Amino acid sequence: MIYVTGDIHGGVDIHKLSSKELRSAGLSINEDDYVIVCGDFGLVWDNKPEERYWRKWLDEKPWTTLFVDGNHENFELLNTYPVEEWHDGRIHRISEKIVHLMRGNMFSLEGATFFTFGGAASHDKEWRLPGLSWWPEELPSDEELRQANDVLTQCNNQVDYIISHCAPSLIQGRLNPTYKIDRLTEYFEYVRETVKFKRWYFGHYHEDVDFDDGFSCLLDRVLPLESDFRTL
């Protein structure tokens, strides 16, 4: 089974994946299962002891952890990890059981297809230091956007699930009309209008909200893909 959740921000919000909290939510996640984190993974940041502790903690869980990048990632460090082909798409292999799903790729898992595209614009950029706590790679390059379009064209603009960190401009505006539109939210707006999908999961906005047109914003929830949704 495949589960999806929101940002974990390194060790800050990882508690939702503890055995105690999963039991409280009525979830039993096993060794053949996957948990997808919708960005701001935050455990490829500085390789300090606390970070290594939490990666080891995740590695010792029965499931495999998958994530798309958010805006709060060390992209310079993330891009040093080896690239592999995995389930029809390209990944960074962080460890045996931790996998970064790279941007603009299509993955096949348990009979379903997943289009993945991480990244987002940092709203707190002015308080961060380039190369230390902020990286321009938080927003996509032209090449990443071209690759994404090629992948979507190859699948006839049809996919089962979309996993991202931020949302299309329209959906972002429903959450908070003060959020700024940028090249990635506008690209996702194009995807929203042209691609047929069952559900689109994203994080970033620190809310747990479902929309009746197929979008789910995640933070604390850990959802199996076939969940019933409380829609707006």
CATH number, domain of 104, equals: 3.60.21
The CA-atom distances, in angstroms, between 174 and each of 150, 169, 213 are 29, 9, 12
The answer to whether residue 140 is domain-embedded is: yes
Contact 64, 75 (CB under 8 A): no
Which domain range does residue 134 map to?
2-224
State the pLDDT at residue 37.
98
CA distance 217 to 171: 10
CA distance 63 to 107: 18
Each residue's pLDDT tens digit, 38-86: 999 999 999 999 999 999 999 999 999 999 999 999 999 999 999 999 9
Count of domains forming the chain: 1
CA distance 87 to 89: 6
Q: Is 56 helix (H, G, I), strand (E, B) or coil?
A: helix
Instruction: Give the CA radius of gyration of the chain.
Output: 16
The answer to whether residue 231 is domain-embedded is: no
Q: Which of 14-23, 197-206, 222-231 has the lowest mean pLDDT?
A: 222-231
Each residue's pLDDT tens digit, 183-218: 999 999 999 999 999 999 999 999 999 999 999 999
The answer to whether residue 229 is domain-embedded is: no
The answer to whether residue 90 is domain-embedded is: yes
Q: H helices within 155-222, ranges in order? A: 169-175, 183-194
